[in-house]
């Protein structure tokens, strides 16, 4: 039997991306966030998620896509990273897919700068797959922590 991985697929600027399903907590309709003065463009702000403050992350910034404000038609993809829970702002929910190893194209050492762990080859095109543990850098995690710390003073 082939080995497989379940991935959560979503769309940003008509491009398809995915995170491992095991990292995804849930998807919710975008809500208003509390902007934090002088926060980096990586962070839209914070919002109350069942009694906890969760940062809403500008995924467009991380993917080098044109940035835009959060709109009512956006979604928050709530994910668990090794250090915290985050809400990635996404344009559209796509699907949960089962990816078999023979459909997965790993990123070579030459392409490591892409930040992706690989690509899913589908009949309708490629899906860029990111590993959340590697996707958010230590520097970005530190920036997120500084923003959270600044709100608790």
Instruction: Note whether 81 and 19 are within 8 A (CB).
Output: no
In angstroms, the Cα distances linking 84 to 19, 53, 117, 132 are: 16, 11, 21, 11
Let me know if 112 is exposed, middle or buried by CB neighbors in 10 A (0-12, 13-18, 19+).
Answer: exposed
The DSSP symbol for 65 reads P
Q: What size, in residues, is the chain?
A: 153
In the prediction, which pLDDT does 137 show?
83
| Cβ neighbours of residue 127 closer than 8 Å, sequence gap 6 or more | 7, 9, 16, 17, 18, 97, 119, 120
In the prediction, which pLDDT does 110 show?
38
- At CA 45, angle to CA 68 and CA 8, rounded to 5? 70
Model pLDDT for residues 19-76, shown as the tens digit of each residue: 999 999 999 999 999 998 888 999 999 999 999 999 999 999 999 999 999 999 999 9
The domains found in the chain, sorted by start residue, are 4-151 (2.40.50.180)
Task: Identify the CA nearest to 18 among candidates 102, 105, 85.
Answer: 105
In the prediction, which pLDDT does 153 show?
56
* Rg, C-alpha atoms of the chain: 16
In the prediction, which pLDDT does 38 show?
86
Proportion of the chain above pLDDT 90, given as a percent: 52
pTM: 0.86
């Amino acid at each position: 039997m082939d080995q497989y991985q379940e991935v959560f697929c979503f769309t940003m600027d008509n491009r398809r991306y995915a995170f491992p399903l095991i990292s995804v907590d849930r998807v919710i309709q975008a809500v208003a966030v509390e902007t934090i003065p002088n926060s980096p463009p990586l962070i839209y702000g914070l919002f109350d998620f069942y009694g906890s403050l969760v940062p809403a992350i500008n995924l467009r910034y991380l993917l080098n896509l044109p940035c835009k404000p959060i709109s009512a038609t956006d979604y928050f993809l709530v994910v668990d990273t090794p250090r915290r829970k985050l809400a990635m702002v996404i344009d559209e929910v796509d699907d949960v897919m089962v990816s078999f190893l023979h459909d997965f194209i790993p990123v070579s050492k030459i392409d490591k700068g892409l930040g992706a762990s690989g690509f899913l080859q589908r009949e309708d095109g490629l899906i860029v797959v990111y590993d959340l543990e590697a996707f958010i850098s230590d520097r970005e995690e530190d920036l997120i922590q500084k923003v959270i710390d600044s709100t608790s003073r």
